[in-house]
Amino acid sequence: MKSEGGRTSSRRDRAVDEKTGTTSQRYVQRYRVRPSAADAEIHEADFPHYILFDPNGPKAPGLVVFLPGTGGKPTQADILLKSVVHLGYRAIGLSYSSLPAVVDLCRDSPDEGCYDNIRGDRAFGWGGTSSSDAIVGRLLSLLVHLHRRYPLEGWDFYCTKREVLWKNIILSGLSQGAGMAAYIAKHRRVKRVVLFSGPADFVEKTKSVAKWTAGESATPNARWYAAVHRRENRYSDIMDAYRSLKIPSGHIALLDLTPPPRDGATRDRFHTTTTRLEGYLDVWKTMFGSQIRRDGVDLR
């Protein structure tokens, strides 16, 4: 079955009932939609958004919007996003322009506001990027597209024609994507923030974390959660950023699983594993929370 700008698919996934310990089969609907199919003004980074949800679930659970790391694709977080759906949420892996890496542009820059400027431009279009191509514009156009295409699925719970309804959005991301999620949550009051291995916005000139991380936050501190692997290369920078963001210490998970050999090809074999290893399922549940209760779904 085809959808505009991408494929739709439905697949049976295994789910475990925590109360009884029994396994059951659950369908997870998956859509792939190119940004240009949702907004013809978008031409860059036109690889598909990745949408997952339970078609038999409630029409208005919270929506997890996940931003991949530098050069990453939303489908690389399939295990995490599928787990999020099993917790009672809907999930969108959002594609966006992530190259070059923010840290590569700004770490050695003499401009102390470099991180703030680059992230503001990529998130909101506050620089040279058009607002439609920025992350927030891409999310809005996708949600509007989904509502028009599938009007009975309840996508209008997350947007109007002109704005994202942030109170129903959980922002998440890996690496650069975590920094983008954090930046947006600083400026918009969201339901929850879940960061993985980022940001690492260290300024070499001042030997300190970027100033934007310490600014006022529209999203209350109690709604922020984060994880980092103890052995990843930028562990110290990431932890400094978490402290600057004022994430409660009890909301920070220090991970330590060793990835399988096939993940060892990158320069930092631990960095991306925080969103890819099933051994972290319990950690993810704590970070995102579960919307599933014995009597149904908690929409608070």
Sole residue written with tokens 């990027």: 129
Is residue 125 scored above 90 in pLDDT?
A: yes
pLDDT digit string, tens, across residues 168-218: 999 999 999 999 999 999 999 999 999 999 999 999 999 999 999 999 999
Region 124-129 average pLDDT:
93
Q: Cβ neighbours of residue 23 under 8 Å, at least 6 residues apart?
A: 14, 15, 16, 17
Parse the chain into domains and list their residue ranges: 2-297
H/E run at residue 176: helix 176-187
How many residues are listed for the chain in this entry?
300
In DSSP terms, 66 is beta-bridged to 93, 172
CATH of domain 2-297: 3.40.50.1820
pLDDT digit string, tens, across residues 4-54: 555 544 455 644 444 434 334 568 999 999 999 999 999 899 999 999 999
Is residue 234 scored above 50 in pLDDT?
A: yes
Q: The pTM is what?
A: 0.90
Q: Give the separation between CA 202 and CA 259, rounded to whole angstroms.
A: 26
Whole-number pLDDT of residue 25: 55
Task: Tell me how far CA of residue 124 lies from CA of 132, 139, 140, in angstroms.
Answer: 9, 11, 11
Q: Give the separation between CA 184 and CA 117, rounded to whole angstroms.
A: 13
Q: Degrees (nearest 5) of the Cα angle 53, 56, 62?
A: 45
